[in-house]
């Protein structure tokens, strides 16, 4: 079965997709048969599925979009209300089956959650439950805005409480005005969490291709892929 990383965040809009796609680029450039996966995406714009399409592209389209992201809902909302608008049930068994097929076929799966760790994927299952059932190592992405110390420590505490192994913590500067906050927040998180922030991404302007290329370069320097992917 494949090695696996599950990229989650302290919130929505923290840069999970950017980090997931950068990890896929790094792995595939190294010759690792890595594929992206996202159980659910919500929000379609101009016929594009946003995060799911980005993961599909970063995986060099080696699998159909329907397998990389099996559940897609048009409204840009949390999964449960988005599904309700379409009068559909969220079939997480289908999402799990798609993940198992990818894990059987490929050497590594880079999975991306939706929102933060405790977002409901259906009426019973949180993102954290989904991670725990597959036993992937977690990459936590935090954004460098005011409040990130609280959000990051809370998420790390919950991951620890659930016995989920944290492979890396990455701080992402999502707005230029937050750049000055990043170093101080990083120091506070490290002091209270008792662990290092493994990488920091500065603010990147430009289109998605430019941001992804820059993020990949920064993470290549700061992350040890061998350690990130070590088997439990």
Q: Mind giving me the DSSP string for 23-40?
A: HHHHHHHTT--EEEE-SE
- At 161, which CATH number? 3.40.50.300
Q: Identify whether 68 is part of a domain.
A: yes
Q: How many separate domains does the chain show?
A: 1
**Residue 27 in domain:** yes
Q: Domain for residue 18, yes or no?
A: yes
Closest CA to 132 of 154, 113, 152: 113
The C-alpha atoms of residue 84 and residue 190 are separated, in whole angstroms, by 40
> In angstroms, how far is CA 195 from the centroid of its own chain?
20
Q: Which residues are catalytically annotated?
A: 38
Round to whole Å and give the CA distance between 228 and 225. Answer: 5
232 part of a folded domain: no
pLDDT digits (tens, 9 = 90+) for 155-206: 999 999 999 999 999 999 999 999 998 999 999 999 999 999 999 999 998 8
Each residue's pLDDT tens digit, 61-104: 999 999 999 999 999 999 999 999 999 999 999 999 999 999 99
**157 is in which domain, residue-wise?**
3-227
Does 174 reside within a domain?
yes
């Amino acid at each position: 079965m494949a090695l696996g990383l599950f990229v989650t965040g302290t919130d929505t809009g923290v840069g999970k997709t950017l980090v997931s796609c950068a990890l896929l680029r790094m792995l595939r450039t190294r010759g690792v048969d890595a594929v992206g996966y996202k159980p659910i995406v919500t929000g379609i714009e101009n016929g594009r599925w946003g995060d799911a399409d980005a993961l599909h592209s970063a995986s060099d389209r080696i699998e159909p979009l329907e397998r990389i992201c099996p559940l897609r809902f048009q409204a840009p909302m949390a999964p449960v209300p988005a599904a309700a608008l379409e009068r559909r049930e969220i079939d997480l068994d289908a999402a799990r089956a798609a993940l198992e097929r990818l894990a059987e076929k490929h050497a590594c799966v880079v999975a991306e959650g939706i929102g933060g760790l405790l977002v409901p994927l259906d009426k019973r299952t949180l993102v954290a439950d989904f991670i725990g059932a597959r036993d992937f190592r977690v990459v936590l992405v935090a954004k460098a805005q005011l409040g990130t110390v609280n959000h990051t420590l809370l998420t790390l505490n919950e991951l620890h409480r659930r016995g989920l192994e944290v492979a890396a913590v990455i701080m992402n500067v999502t707005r230029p005005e937050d750049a000055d906050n990043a170093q101080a927040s990083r120091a506070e998180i490290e002091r209270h969490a008792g662990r290092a922030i493994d990488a920091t991404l500065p603010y990147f302007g430009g289109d998605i291709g430019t941001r992804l290329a820059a993020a990949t370069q920064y993470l290549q320097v700061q992350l040890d892929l061998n350690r990130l992917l070590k088997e439990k």
